Amino acid sequence: MPFENTNNHFGCSTGKISRCCPVCSIFDSQPVYENTMAPVSGYDMSYTVGRCRKCGFVFANSLADDETIREYYQSVSKYDVASEISELDCLRADAAVKICVEEKVPYDAMVVDLGCGYGALLSRLKTAGYNNLYGIDPAPNSAARAHDLFGLDNIFCGTMTKAHQMLPLAKADLVCIMAVLEHLPGLRGDMSELLKKLKVGCRILVEVPAFERFSGLESEPFGEFSLEHLQYFSATSLKNIFGSLGANLLEMEIVDLPVGASDSLFGLFEVTGKVPNYFEPLPEKSDAIEKYIADSKFRLDGALSRIPTAPLVIYGAGSHTARLLPHIEKLIGTSVVAVVDNNPNLVRKNIGKWVIQSPSVIASMPNAHILISSFRFQNEIAVSLRNRYPNPLVLLYD
Ligand SMILES: [Zn+2]
């Protein structure tokens, strides 16, 4: 989940913001990929992926300004509509709980989950015996969902930068930051401010998508460069950024997740209260990002070759579609007649030049092919669509 950010970047005249390396704080990165996406709800979230020439950290080095990003999240929040804990969230939460138990985090430790969503991790911690649990999330319905689903109290609505005003952050023994850091446009500033508010000895448990496991051939092409992910952590860069902010590494682990989901990198750190005056980052392995980009391009070209010359209903209006639309618009003879999505938060919003509609509109378009614009859920969407509509389906992946 994203949070408000503090500035560690500056504006430029193209309407995009240039960022310095969140590890080294220097403006010297080499562009490696232009991540062009159709605007979602009118927000252009396209960005340039760059690699720091000093430490090798890969991050979005030119992206939408803070206000655009904040408005985008408010407009299309998908984090507080869950009706139950997903299997994937169970696996991720259980991996986090296992680390807490193995690293002997006491059961009466005060635990704060920053970006707790609907409370998946907190609920598993509660089941494991932890009893002093707090959470905060900017999504307005999170507290109600966490209460209704899991009986969790002490869930607040707010951003990371406001957490200390809403809950006793300075007393926390463990702060969990799961699937948050990759979203933060002001990563270094946000983490620096957070660490200043934590007591010495407080532990921080972090989960991010594992850069080491990015695969362009087995996963969604360019899927790691989603609309919302702005930096790509390896074990090296995660250790670098926390080390440079004065937090020592206690434990690190990569956890396998099912195909289609990014494997997770977990890091457990301890606040020392001493920010080093000079920090020499460990160098990142340099060619992994080139391989990921080349493999993704190969896979995307294969997917595009399956699109017929026909009127299309695009099923799904997320990152996958935002990436696909600029390519489809270049295909001769192919026309998009509708973009539909099941998420009620997206219906009536725009993606590219289309207004997102409810899937029920498909019934009025019997001649259109339905292009399933999803990697992970392609097959289950196909089963569900076959039961409801006679239209031919377009599947992009084997
Ligand atoms: Zn750097």
CA of 342 to the centre of ligand 1 (A): 40
User: What's residue 161's pLDDT?
Assistant: 87
Is the full-model pTM beyond 0.75?
A: yes
CA of 137 to the centre of ligand 1 (A): 29
- Flag whether pLDDT at 1 surpasses 70: no
8 A C-beta contact, residue 241 and residue 187: yes
Helical ranges in 245-333 per DSSP H = 288-304, 319-328
d(CA 300, CA 166): 45
Lookup result for tokens 């009466």: 108
CA of 23 to the centre of ligand 1 (A): 5
Region 57-68 average pLDDT: 90
CA of 332 to the centre of ligand 1 (A): 42
- Flag whether pLDDT at 107 surpasses 50: yes
Residue 20's SS3 state is coil
The torsion angles phi and psi of 76, rounded to 5 degrees, stand at: -125, 30
Residue 338's SS3 state is strand
- Flag whether pLDDT at 329 surpasses 60: yes
Lowest mean pLDDT among 13-22, 110-119, 222-231: 13-22
Region 275-283 average pLDDT: 93
CA of 282 to the centre of ligand 1 (A): 10
CA of 160 to the centre of ligand 1 (A): 24
User: What's residue 11's pLDDT?
Assistant: 37
With cut-offs at 50, 70 and 90, classify the pLDDT of residue 319.
confident
CA of 57 to the centre of ligand 1 (A): 5
8 A C-beta contact, residue 48 and residue 63: yes
More confident residue, 2 or 255: 255
d(CA 55, CA 280): 9
List beta partners, residue 289.
Answer: none
User: What's residue 77's pLDDT?
Assistant: 59
End-to-end CA distance of the chain: 31
Describe the crossing of helices 187-197 and 235-244 by its angle, rounded to 10 degrees: 50
CA of 217 to the centre of ligand 1 (A): 27
CA of 221 to the centre of ligand 1 (A): 26
